[in-house]
Amino acid sequence: MADAVSLKNQGNDAFKQKDWSGAIDYYTKAIELNDKEPSFYTNRAQANIKLEAYGYAIADASKAIEIDPNFAKAYYRRAVANTLILKHSDAIHDWKAVVRKNPADKVAKAQYEACQKMVKRDAFLKAIEIADAPSAAVGLDLENMIVEDSYDGVRLKDEMTQEFLDDMIERFKTGKKLHRKYVFQIILAVKALVYDEATMVETEVAPDHMLTVCGDTHGQYFDLLEIFRLNGFPSQKHGYLFNGDFVDRGSWSTEIALLLYAYKMMYPKFFFLNRGNHETDDMNRMYGFEGECKAKYNERVFKLFSESFSALPLATLIGSKYLTLHGGLFSDDAITLDDIRKLNRHNQRQPGQAGLMMEMLWTDPQTTPGRGPSKRGVGLQFGPDVTKRFCEKNGLEAVIRSHEVRMEGYEVEHDGRCITVFSAPKYCDSTENKGAYINIESDYKLQFNKFDAVPHPDIKPMAYANNSMMSMM
């Protein structure tokens, strides 16, 4: 027991240093020496929550409850994890248990009340859901919308211009906003562009051209600009593919979304956007993008963004060699590229809890063969044998995906056939990771580039998320 406690304490030290993976290793070793101490499991659960491995956190908390049904911290951890994956109906029972066991815990009581509201809200939204709801653009008279003389930015006409882009970049650096007319105009233009693209866009890299693949940017605007500073701004000869999760968590999500959309307007054939699991309504309500849209613009802006997100392609095939999608591979070996091509994403605005779209946005690789339950509590995990079979069956060199922090910004797994790229360095100001991007020229060799986070104004991540979420992060 003394050795186990020593390992737990080393795990606590690693946790304080924000070394979540190191902390998990120590807690796991402590559990191997003594698997009857519930606090070892709840500590590991908290580290898993930091790594967004909510499914693992739920499993650890459940084990702690099995050992000690009166251990309030275990119910708390499980409630947090279920809340963070939007399983409010599951979370509410644990919040209630925490309040019952610790009636003086004001934080738990507030979380319980917030969860009750979320359950009611979810039920209300489901009840009023309309399959073919009218667009938020109905009644929006852009042609006659006045841009006041006091607006100090460059004016936008029918086509995106470099002058407008340059001005936009500088405005956002200094905390200024675009005029609402231009926000509406950009979102509607890009919604129309991406709606007409295939569910799996197929592109080639021509001689003397380059395509850069970026992973999650998560509202970290100043780190996005660092990519462009280091690697070059988009142009007709230098295309970019942003592989989902542009928004949420970071507090400049509207700035990133609008800048990426403006580049899509400027270079529609050379600038590509894949949908991520955070380009969805339920995640945007929880993790800040909805709140940010309302704070900086208005609710209609969020609704139009939501419509445009549901129109985004789900994958991009680069040179018939690299399938690029946000999450990963599938629960069924029978799925092929043709199944992605045939998928009508416009029939299903949100990914739901099952099916091809959900798996493309949510799944993760694992080191062991076969398939396993998701560490996130949503989707599944796939092993190197699954990746090998998929690549061989579809004539691919590799699958490029994002969706997960990697400490070096990228990781090559599954014998080189599964590549993760993540482009939000020092993620949420709390993880000491680098960012990365991949350059691909006409020889289709992958060139990996790492970069560090840059300073940003003193606005914390999740500044626009709901208050109950902030207290759990």
* CATH number for 117: 1.25.40.10
Q: Terminus-to-terminus CA distance in the chain, angstroms?
A: 31
Residues with Cβ within 8 Å of residue 206, at least 6 apart in sequence: 442
Q: What is the pLDDT of residue 230?
A: 98
CA distance 446 to 423: 16
448: β partners: 438
Q: What is the pLDDT of residue 70?
A: 95
Q: What is the pLDDT of residue 123?
A: 81
Q: Which of the listed residues 78, 107, 128 is the one where a domain comes to its end?
A: 128
288-306 pLDDT, tens per residue? 999 999 999 999 999 999 9
Q: How many percent of the chain have pLDDT more than 90?
A: 86
Q: Which of the listed residues 128, 145, 171 is the one where a domain comes to its end?
A: 128
Q: What is the pLDDT of residue 26?
A: 98
Q: Which of the listed residues 85, 110, 128 is the one where a domain comes to its end?
A: 128
CA distance 9 to 87: 32
Residue 133 pLDDT exceeds 80: no
Residue 64 pLDDT exceeds 80: yes
Residue 353 pLDDT exceeds 90: no
State whether 325 and 192 are in the same domain. yes
Provide the domain limits for residue 46.
Answer: 2-128
Residue 122 pLDDT exceeds 90: no
State whether 180 and 124 are in the same domain. no
Q: What is the pLDDT of residue 368?
A: 97
Task: Report the pLDDT averaged over residues 371-389.
Answer: 95
State whether 174 and 119 are in the same domain. no
Domain assignment of residue 41, yes or no = yes
Residue 31 pLDDT exceeds 90: yes
What's 206's domain CATH number?
A: 3.60.21.10
Domain assignment of residue 246, yes or no = yes
Assess contact for 267 and 226: CB atoms under 8 A: no
Say whether 278 is catalytic.
yes
Domain assignment of residue 153, yes or no = no
State whether 113 and 256 are in the same domain. no
Which of 88, 179, 218, 278 is an active site residue? 278
How remote is the C-alpha of 229 from its chain's centroid? Answer: 23
Q: How many percent of the chain have pLDDT more than 70?
A: 97
State whether 419 and 290 are in the same domain. yes
260-270 pLDDT, tens per residue? 999 999 999 99
Task: Report the pLDDT averaged over residues 66-81.
Answer: 96
Q: What is the pLDDT of residue 467?
A: 59
DSSP 175-217: T----HHHHHHHHHHHHHHHHTS-SEEEE---TT-EEEEE---
156 or 132, which is more confident: 156
* Candidate from 5-9, 234-238, 283-287, 469-473 with smallest mean pLDDT: 469-473
State whether 314 and 457 are in the same domain. yes
State whether 440 and 345 are in the same domain. yes
Q: Please tell me the total count of domains within the chain.
A: 2
Residues with Cβ within 8 Å of residue 143, at least 6 apart in sequence: none
Task: Report the pLDDT averaged over residues 379-395.
Answer: 97
Backbone φ, ψ for residue 63 (5° rounding): -65, -40
Q: What is the mean pLDDT of the chain?
A: 94
Residue 130 pLDDT exceeds 70: no
Assess contact for 321 and 361: CB atoms under 8 A: no
State whether 112 and 173 are in the same domain. no
State whether 111 and 219 are in the same domain. no
Q: What is the pLDDT of residue 93?
A: 94
Residue 442 pLDDT exceeds 90: yes
State whether 105 and 185 are in the same domain. no
Cα angle, residue 355 at apex, residues 90 and 410 outer, rounded to 5° = 85
State whether 176 and 102 are in the same domain. no
Domain assignment of residue 202, yes or no = yes
State whether 320 and 425 are in the same domain. yes
Domain assignment of residue 138, yes or no = no
* Candidate from 32-41, 130-139, 348-357, 455-464 with smallest mean pLDDT: 130-139
